[in-house]
Every structure is written in structure tokens, then in C-alpha cells.
A and B are shown apart, each in its own frame.
Chain A
Amino acid sequence: AQTVTQSQPEMSVQEAETVTLSCTYDTSESDYYLFWYKQPPSRQMILVIRQEAYKQQNATENRFSVNFQKAAKSFSLKISDSQLGDAAMYFCAYTGETSGSRLTFGEGTQLTVNP
């Protein structure tokens, strides 16, 4: 079975600084996808970024980028120029060949942005 681990329950960053959230996963599948979701106080899960395992290039979405290390099974999220609105719970998630679109989530990292 696939597992996703986020080892940082809480992180904090100063506004305008950069922060990196860690995620590791375990799988024996060769075709899979990784996601970062953001859950602000409104509780809606919002997709931040996704990465296809077969792509070597790291995904980027504006201030959000990932460092995908396939051999190490690591998928970290970097937030540049942090803004107050980035404060939220961030979840790393996985889907693969056997799970289809069903997401396996990590435990989450609560990010605080300090003004």
C-alpha cells in the first residue's frame, strides 16, 4: 500500500520569505501523481500544484514550486515570497495505477505566516 508522510506538523515563515514543506512517500508503482493541496480556515481543499512522476522537470505554479526527487521518494513544496494568505494547512497527496483518482493524503503541515 502507498503511504504519504509529512514530518512537519507545523511550520512558520516571515512574510516575503521562502519556506519549504517536506513530504515523502512510499510506493512500488511506476506510474503515479503527486499533489499539494492547501486547506485555509474556510476548510475547502484547494489544489496548489501537481507533479507527474514520469516528468523529470519540477512543477511550478507562480510562487509555488516543487522539488521532486523520485529516487528518494521525496516531494517538497517551496513557497516563495510568502504572503499572509498562504497561511493554511498543506497536504501532500498521492494517486497511482492501482488507486486511480483516489487520493492518499499525508497528515498535513500547518503553515503560519508572520507579518
Chain B
Amino acid sequence: ETGVTQTPRHLVMGMTNKKSLKCEQHLGHNAMYWYKQSAKKPLELMFVYSLEERVENNSVPSRFSPECPNSSHLFLHLHTLQPEDSALYLCASSQLTGPGNTIYFGEGSWLTVV
């Protein structure tokens, strides 16, 4: 069992659907992240939350909407996505957001937009 769990592991959605990805960390950390991993591209940071407050957006399209209700849970709400949004979405956590804080990842949620 990992310290960071993501559900669902696989999701297929149409471009007009609304769905959510869920992440939960059991490590007592104070920061959580969403990363996007597309084929043949380096991992891209989408959002950072520290102590439930968003500290980084990285110019992600508004069709991706994060929510962090507490330090253990992070959601990524998806609506009117495009086929190019199909990717592996990785959730991660760390104790703090300072340099050198080790980041621990979940197993990812595979998203396919049809």
C-alpha cells in the first residue's frame, strides 16, 4: 500500500462530461501536487497546494479545477476536456514546499478523453 492513493486508476470520459480525480495522502504531509504526464513529454506540474492554500497554478487551462478541502485530500475536477488532455495524472505530497523536500507520488490516474 502506498502513502498516496489515487482513484480512479482509469477513467474514460467524453468531452462534455464532468468527472473528478481524487487523491489521499496518509503521510501527514502539508503540501500536495498534481502533475501531468503525457507521452513523450517530461512531467508537468499543474498545481501545488500547501496547507490547503493554492500556491501555484502554472497557467493550467480552466477546464482543470483543483480542490483541497484539507491537508490529506486533493481533487482535480475535470470538465469539457479535450482529447489532448488524455494523460496520466499523478498526485504527490511532501512535508513542506521548501527546496529539498522529498516528494512522494501516487500510482496515477489514467485519463482518456474521447
Interface residues, chain A, CB within 8 Å of chain B? Answer: 4, 31-33, 35, 37, 42-47, 50, 52, 91, 95-97, 99-108
Contact = CB atoms under 8 A, between A and B. Distances in A.
20 contacts: A31-B99, A32-B99, A33-B99, A37-B105, A42-B107, A43-B90, A44-B105, A45-B90, A47-B103, A91-B43, A96-B99, A99-B99, A100-B97, A100-B98, A101-B99, A102-B48, A103-B43, A105-B42, A106-B42, A107-B40
Q: Which 4 A-B pairs have the closest CB atoms?
A: A45-B105, A101-B101, A44-B107, A33-B100
Interface residues of B, number: 28
Interface of B: 2, 31, 33, 40-43, 45, 48, 56, 88, 90, 92, 94, 96-108, 110
Contacts of A108: 42
